[in-house]
Amino acid sequence: MKIAMWSGPRNLSTAMMYSFGNRPDCAVVDEPFYAAYLARTGLDHPMRDEILASQSKDPEVVARSLVGEVPEGKTVFYQKHMTQHMIAGIPREWMKDCVNVFLIRHPARVIASYAAKRENPTLDDIGFRQQAELFDLVKGWGQTPIVVDSHDIRDNPMKELKKICTKLELDFEDAMLKWPRGGHRDDGVWAPHWYSAVWNSTGFAGPEGPLPSVPEHLQEVLDEAMIHYRKMQSEKA
């Protein structure tokens, strides 16, 4: 089984990769299109040179790796994807061979978290528009995409992970609730910049508090992102 998990940044995506990566039957890959995305956009992200050197910059090569043999002789291949990486020229047909899951989070939380690491995010930086487009694409193929909200997972990890596993037709593993402190061997090279909190964790953080306030200059980004968030939230399992 190949699972394509689609989210924007700052959205529990690394913790979910660690959760599935702790299953004995599961191989994982961390943002495989990141180098191709940077090479095509020319964006100056933190650790850009290291990222470009660490992965194939050819999106066709990356796509073939995602639907080929599951690494390490495992039976499950969990793919952590960032929706903002799926720009023009990045292939999508390979997604038909995956179970596509959409991990959503309230935009106010995403914007507040992202802005703490990289100032003044745009709508395209946080991936909501692209996530909704990919969601529509998968539905158009006749698939029934799975939608999960990171808020629900943090509220009750066991309950939500069991629901996800049921929809994936996988047995739930208690190992999904905990992972070793210090990161995963398949973390992307960018992990030192972005993953400090999850590196120091051994499981999912507790329930989220009240929604953070969003600065006035980012209010338009929030309003636009909310349109896409509400659309996908309405189809949450």
Amino acid 237: pLDDT: 65
Q: What is the DSSP letter of 80?
A: E
What tens digit of pLDDT does each residue of 193-235 get?
A: 889 989 999 999 999 999 999 989 999 999 999 999 999 999 8
Please report the pLDDT score of residue 9 as a whole number: 86
- Structural domains present in the chain: 2-233 (3.40.50)
The pLDDT score that the predictor gives to residue 103 is 97
Task: Give the chain's length.
Answer: 237
AA letter at 43: L
pTM value is: 0.94
Below-70 pLDDT ranges, the chain: 118, 237
pLDDT recorded at residue 104: 96
pLDDT digits (tens, 9 = 90+) for 24-46: 999 999 999 999 999 999 999 89
Neighbour tally for 213: CB within 10 Å: 8
Backbone angles phi, psi at 189, to 5 degrees: -60, -20
CA gyration radius for the chain? Answer: 17
**CA atoms within 13 A of residue 90's CA, in its CB half-sphere:** 23
Between the alpha carbon of residue 236 and those of residues 164, 207, 220, 224, the distances in Å are: 11, 19, 25, 20
Count of Cβ atoms closer than 10 Å to residue 62 Cβ: 21
Query: Which of 78, 90, 89 has the alpha carbon at shortest distance from 14?
Result: 78
- Tell me how far apart the alpha carbons of residues 190 and 192 are, in angstroms, rounded to a whole number: 6
Pairing type for strands 76-82 and 2-7 reads: parallel
Phi-psi region of 49 (alpha: psi -120 to 50; beta: other; left: phi over 0): alpha
Q: Are 122 and 75 in contact (CB under 8 A)?
A: no
pLDDT at 28: 98
